[in-house]
Structure 1
Amino acid sequence: MLQRDHLTVIAPSLAEGVAHVRSCLDLDIPYGRAHDGMGTHNHLLRLGDDVYLEVIAVDPAAPPPGRPRWFGLDDSGLVRSNWDEGFRLRGWVARTTGIADMLARHGAILGEEVRLTGSGRSFSFAVPPGGALPLAGLAPSVIDRGGYPPSIAAMPELGARLRSFTVEHPQPEDVAALYERLGVENPPDIRRGERLRYRAMIETPAGLRELN
């Protein structure tokens, strides 16, 4: 089974990503950490007890990682064009406790296992060939934290809570079938739309706000 772990804003730079979240939610979310194995860095926002928001971008100060970066971040042109078109909440991550079995069944969609280290722990992440988002972001990226829960309790409490998470797609029935095939336990709500787009409704101290 796959469980929702976190939502991802994929940004051309952290400054742009943080500014977008501020404009949507009226919150300044704090810096998270650098990912030495991927040449990226992030800001993190707690959205409840078991889910959070990540703003991620290439770290210009980091050396090239020697492997494709995750979340399609090596394709800077595509990241920029999606950003400029207003597609900024572009993916999500689901967690599993059995990534080897998951990839044995669905590796053609989810990618290959990459072992990484962060916050003093090792974990596995599935990365498709070339680092692209799985099915252009329609399928979740998959993480296996080796039995450890995500470190949400260590994130500052800013009073933000995820109320709904929605995916729009021209063929919603195909999306539903995909999530069922992958064994997603709590998938996004699925609605018909002109193209793939995610929306999150988040309760903040300033009221209910949309992030997209």
Structure 2
Amino acid sequence: MPSQSMPPTHWTLDHLVVATDTLENGRRWLEQQLGVSLQPGGQHAEFGTHNLLLSLGGSYLELIAIDPSAPQPADPRWFELDRPEMQQRLAERPHLIHWVVAVPELTGHPQARRLSRGGARWQLTVAPDGSLPGGGAAPSLIAWDTPPPAQSLPDQGVQLEQLELSSPHPERLAHWTGSYNGTEIVAQSAPTVSLRATLVTPKGHVRLD
């Protein structure tokens, strides 16, 4: 059963992470699914990736891929993008692989990385081996030093209604379930980890997984 807990009021849902084999493939696929255009993002020099963005109302969607023009990073790429099993999965189609919760600060967190792109500055929890917490079902944490993208992305009529977290151990996710920015986060038992988002779009309700 979904937990009816309420996250602390200082937590907010920052963004969803959709990964793809190439940014152009992902852009075409997502725009066809949602009926709207993605917005320019940028490059992440530390991890050799690049992205596109989309407002989800109080949060946003990040479409991310390995940047073929970037040098190989010194550390493993975030979101398990270096792993053969992830690359094989993304070769089939883009997938919703993760979500990120914004917190006021991450000072002293052992996995916090200080990052920047252009005028944006933030800290994000990233495991040294690039692995996803809880296989992707538990969130990474972000603390923005500058306004988050959700505040400046244009409203394109897409809202995140619900995020469903499936895991063999849903009790470990109960801490993160509840209502964030008007979005319901629920957890349920399943043999394997997966995420599914229900979006309200100009094309009606769309589910991403």
User: Shorter-chain TM-score: what band?
Assistant: 0.7 to 0.9
Partner Cα separation in structure 1 for residue 45 and residue 190 of structure 2: 37
Shift in Å, 1:133: 1.2
Runs (4+) off by over 6 Å: none
Pick aligned residue for 1:90 from 71, 93, 97: 97
TM-score scaled by length of structure 2: 0.83
SS in 1 for 2:80: coil
Name the one with the larger helix percent: 1
Alignment of 1:17-56 (within 5 A): 17-48=26-57, 50-56=58-64
The answer to whether structure 1 residue 67 and structure 2 residue 87 are counterparts is: no
SS in 2 for 1:129: coil
| SS across alignment from 1:165 | strand
Q: Taking every aligned residue pair, what percent have the same amino acid on both sides? A: 33
Q: Which structure 1 segments of 5+ residues have no match?
A: none
Asked whether 1:113 is paired with 2:112, we answer yes
Distance 1:99 1:38 in 2: 20
Query: Normalising by structure 1, what TM-score?
Result: 0.82
**1:11 touches 1:56 (CA, 8 Å); kept in 2?**
yes
Report what 1:167 is aligned to. 165
Cα shift at 1:44: 0.5
Counterpart CA distance in 1 for 2:36 and 2:189 is: 30
Report SS of the residue matched to 1:18.
helix
Q: Which runs of 5+ in 2 are unaligned?
A: 1-7
Q: Counterparts in 2 of 1:108-187, with a 5 A limit?
A: 112-146=111-145, 148-177=146-175, 179=176, 186=180
Report the CA distance shift for 1:23/1:192 in structure 2 as closer, same or farther (over 3 A). farther
**1:12 pairs with 2:9:** no
Structure 1 residues 121 and 171, CA gap change in structure 2 (3 angstroms): closer
